[in-house]
Structure formats: C-alpha cells, structure tokens
Amino acid sequence: DTEVTQTPKHLVMGMTNKKSLKCEQHMGHRAMYWYKQKAKKPPELMFVYSYEKLSINESVPSRFSPECPNSSLLNLHLHALQPEDSALYLCASSQVIGGRASSTDTQYFGPGTRLTVL
Amino acid sequence: GENVEQHPSTLSVQEGDSAVIKCTYSDSASNYFPWYKQELGKGPQLIIDIRSNVGEKKDQRIAVTLNKTAKHFSLHITETQPEDSAVYFCAASAPSGTYKYIFGTGTRLKVLA
C-alpha cells in the first residue's frame, strides 16, 4: 500500500482566515514533504520533515506553518494568505533508507488539497 | 543551478501508437530518476523509476532508459490507451542532503481514440 491521504480535498478561505491542511500516511515512512503546485507547473518543494523534525524550509513565507505531530501525520497551518497562494498543495512521504532522508528515496504523493484564497 | 529539461511539452498520439518523452539533466551527481503521471485534479503518481546503476527498466507497457554519459533519460509507453492521457513529469535527484527532486516542466500526453 502506497497511500497518502489528504484532507480536505478543496478549501476556500479568505485572507483573514486561519485553516489547516492535513496529511496522513501509514507506510512507516519517516520523511514527509509539503509541495505547492500551480497550474501547468511541476510541484515546488516547501518543507521536508525527517523523523518528525523540520529538515528543510525552502524560504517559505511565515504565513505557512508546518507541523509534524507524529510519524504518520503532517499538518500545514495557513494564516493571512494572499490570493497568489491559491494552488494545489501536495503532501508526499518517503521511506528513509540508511538512517538519513535523501533525494534518492522514492516519494509517494497524496491527491492534494485545492486551495482558493479570496 | 541544477535543472531538468523535458521535451516535448505536448504530445498527441493515436491509440495503439508509442509515445516517448525525453529528459536531460545537468548534475552528473544525480543518480535517481522517477517518473510521475498526473491526471487532472489528482496528485502525481509514481509510474516507474530508475537508478544510475541500471540502463533500462521495464514494467509492462512502460519502460525507462538512462544514458548517464549523455545525461539523458526517456520514458517509453507502448500500445497507448486513452487512459494514458495525463501530464507526465520526469525528475532527477538533487545533490545529497537536499532531499529535493529537480522536476522537469511536464509533458501533456493526449491519446486519441
């Protein structure tokens, strides 16, 4: 089973709202990722968690706040977003081989949350 | 910086024909190359991958070839079916410690019935 689930599927929010995206996997993967994908573009990496610790923040604005409560869950807290933040937000996970996450680990993506900021 | 060029950007084929998508990477240290299929409104789905110690890998109608010297890798889909219509992304592993994939720009494949 290589399933990553994400909720909600769709989210519409105003610029003053606070919302959260959720991601879950039960494959025993110890690396989890958030990506942002605009229409007709490849996914762009935002954050990487390895063993529940933030390993990479790709210079993402502070209005996006990730959280990894345990090895199966990943959240993305949203606050004071801008209309240009509207996109498909993808979660992915990968097995950590050799005790350290690596770009040679296979990443499995969830279905995404379609976010619209009004 | 590292980049991956992907061609063509769009590809239309008749059902039953073959489709080939090509990618070229810049970082000779890249050693893992996954391919993802993304259908409309869905997340990317891994369809095949290859590591640098192998020159070719096949899974039913899908195959990937890797030429490390030329820094090229290609996706081959034979006997295409309408359900193969999607956007395909190639990717290459970025330098060690970065956790990143360098994605190509995507190819929109249309299989005409």
Task: Check: CB of residue A42 under 8 Å from CB of residue B106.
Answer: yes
Structure token pair of residue B57: 């890998």
CB contact under 8 A, A109 and B97: no
Q: CB neighbours (10 Å) of residue B74?
A: 17
Interface test with B, best of A23, A95, A103 (most B CBs within 10 A): A103
3 state DSSP class of A11: strand
Phi, psi of B36 (to 5 degrees): -120, 145
pLDDT in tens, chain B (113 residues): 789 999 999 999 999 999 999 999 998 989 999 999 999 989 999 999 999 888 999 999 999 999 999 999 999 999 999 999 999 999 999 876 677 899 999 999 999 99
Instruction: Report the distance separating Cα A45 and Cα A36, nearest Å.
Output: 7
Facing B32 at nearest CB: one of A31, A104, A108: A104
Facing A110 at nearest CB: one of B32, B43, B95: B43
